[in-house]
Structure 1
Amino acid sequence: MAEEIDYEALSPNAGLGINMLAGAFAGISEHAVMYPVDSIKTRMQVFATSPAAVYTGIGNAFTRISSTEGMRALWRGVSSVILGAGPAHAVQFGTLEAVKELAGGNAAGNQWVATSLAGASAAITSDALMNPFDVIKQRMQVHKSEFRSVFACARTVFMKEGITAFYVSYPTTLMITIPSNAVQFTVYDHLKKWINPRGEYSPTTHMIAGAVSGGVAAAVTTPLDVAKTILQTRGTARETELRNVRGLADAFRVIWRRDGIKGFGRGLTPRVLTHMPSNALCWLSYEFFKVAIREA
């Protein structure tokens, strides 16, 4: 019979290599499972000129996309996420744990400053890797996308718009992920300690804390996510105003002029519904693989 893992006896910091490998597995699991809902979110956030690309809700979008384009359309671009999520999340969780340890976040009590700093640092490093893959993903998700291959999409975007197209949304992405990660990791850490004060290995705890922290972080950053989608899909837009959006301020002006205050909540429901289960799975996978790899 296999020896039982003593979760409490394990060091809070598993080592950079283990944290990165566990993070890579967790990232791929997180993004792949909820990808169809993320595709719907992207389409709901894009300002479409065709009535066929305007959706009233998740159910409406799912029914219309699957009936007119087939179920495979909801998975278009998933390979870009898989290619990018592994290394990006490896760097994210490696940075998270390293900075948290250096800042004293593993000390007794709720070290929310150290946890927030670790979350923000993780966002900066991981987004630098993930942003180009996210641009490709969203170009492939939009209604009537011409792209069916990640590499064909990357080549076309680079040839037509240059390398800046892959990073035009990076500042906005950081404005989303730095507060998002800070909120998410702080809520997760506090909630995990509150639900499971003894620090025992508890998949249920990781899932609940991951879902709640992911939902909160997703909700508060939705307005920025709408702006990011406009920036990342501007090359597919037919209207000159949308194609000429250069930054966050431009995107906000377009959203406000076209849709008012409600425009900043575009895709809120699918975004939260994506992040809650995907973050629950991400943290569940991360905590599991962190233990499993060390014991292998």
Structure 2
Amino acid sequence: MTEEECEYESLPTTNIVAHMVAGAGAGAMEHCIMYPIDCVKTRMQSLVPDPKASYKNVADALYTIIKQEGIGRTVRGINAVFFGAIPAHAMYFAAYEQIKLVLTERMSKQYHSVAHGLAGCSATIFHDAVMNPADVIKQRMQMYQSPYSTCSECGKRVLMEEGPHAFYRSYMTQLTMNIPFHAIHFMVYEKAQDMINPDRKYSPITHIASGGAAGAIAAAVTTPLDVCKTLLNTQERCAYQNDGTISGLRQASSLIYKFGGLQGFFRGLTARVIYQIPATAISWSVYETFKFILATKKSARASPILAANESSGIR
């Protein structure tokens, strides 16, 4: 293993700043590149969509949105996600790496998958606390005929009309979804890395493959909760006009079943999986790349000092 690879492999134990920088970059890239598909997912999870916003599949949705509303509609609300994802993912990956380190040091190797899952669950709490308000704004911006013109206007109106609690109305549902999502996500990713990259070298292909598989499996399992979260965030009028504000998971579930039956909980499943495969692949590949670059720079800075110490007899 080269010196850079040694630094890269040891980075999780030594450099929390590197994890935050790498995580911030990964989060911004993940959410922004795949944002049009996220827009489609939100639209397809609508309980009673407008006939003009009723789509057959993901491809039809993208084509219809671009044709009828313009390509700009597919990225409405992206500002909220960009500025929310940077701090959220910085804390997310930093917390994950540090908690994973502590747990794996205290648990035998056969239980390391459990440690990875627990670390992912813990990191999710920090991530969602920052990301939830951004999700509320971006999903309201994504809805068909959204009444908001900008993210800042959306945020101000939600605050004035519904109060600050509106930004965290879906927080417990988000955690209920994301805790199993990220537990599965990290367990699958780490297990896949054990299988195809056992030496844990920097290997973009294995990071992409492991990330994509992890995202697909976790997304499919947690789609019903994501549908509930979308309803809580958007407060879709067709659902609550006779029921008041939708305030929790139980009420959201009841309305989804009322309007769509059991299949209503799987609205947007294909879009969610299609979104998560490249999104998590991008996230992990960018994250690991940032780690490798930072480790390489660290090694390069350390080399002259080491050479000077050796030449002067310092050990």
TM-score of the pair, normalised by structure 1: 0.94
Q: Which residue of 2 aligns with 1:294?
A: 295
Contact preservation (8 Å) 1:25, 1:86:
yes
C-alpha distance in 1 between matches for 2:230 and 2:201? 40
C-alpha distance in 2 between matches for 1:49 and 1:30? 27
Q: Which residue of 1 aligns with 2:301?
A: none
C-alpha distance in 2 between matches for 1:169 and 1:115? 25
Unaligned runs of 5+ in 1: none
Q: How does 1:69-218 map to 2 (within 5 A)?
A: 69-104=69-104, 109=109, 111-218=112-219
> Considering only aligned residues, what root-mean-square deviation do their CA atoms show, in Å?
1.8
C-alpha distance in 2 between matches for 1:282 and 1:105? 26
C-alpha distance in 2 between matches for 1:291 and 1:256? 47
Partner AA of 2:35 in structure 1: Y
SS at match of 1:143: coil
Q: Which residue of 1 aligns with 2:312?
A: none
Deviation readout 1:175-214 (Å, 9 max, x if unpaired): 1111101100011001011101122211100000000001
C-alpha distance in 2 between matches for 1:288 and 1:107? 28
Contact preservation (8 Å) 2:48, 2:259:
no
Whether 1:55 aligns to 2:55 is yes
TM-score of the pair, normalised by structure 2: 0.89
The structure number with the bigger radius of gyration is 2
SS at match of 1:104: helix
Partner AA of 1:95 in structure 2: A
C-alpha distance in 1 between matches for 2:105 and 2:5? 19
Q: 1:238–1:245: structure 2 CA closer, same or farther, 3 Å change rule? A: closer
Q: 1:6 aligns with which of 4, 11, 16?
A: 4
Whether 1:263 aligns to 2:264 is yes
- Flag the structure with higher helix content: 2
Contact preservation (8 Å) 1:237, 1:243:
no
Contact preservation (8 Å) 1:235, 1:243:
no
SS at match of 2:261: helix
Deviation readout 1:12-33 (Å, 9 max, x if unpaired): 4342111111000000010011
Greater shift after overlay, 174-183 or 54-63?
Answer: 54-63
Q: Which residue of 1 aligns with 2:45?
A: 45
Contact preservation (8 Å) 2:47, 2:239:
no
Greater shift after overlay, 253-262 or 7-16?
Answer: 7-16
Contact preservation (8 Å) 2:240, 2:246:
no
Displacement of 1:62 after TM fit? 1.2
C-alpha distance in 2 between matches for 1:94 and 1:107? 20
C-alpha distance in 2 between matches for 1:226 and 1:22? 30
Q: 1:7–1:150: structure 2 CA closer, same or farther, 3 Å change rule? A: same
Unaligned runs of 5+ in 2: 298-315
C-alpha distance in 1 between matches for 2:210 and 2:130? 26
Contact preservation (8 Å) 2:47, 2:264:
no
* Off by >4 Å, runs of 4+ in structure 1: 105-108, 235-239
Q: Which residue of 2 aligns with 1:22?
A: 22
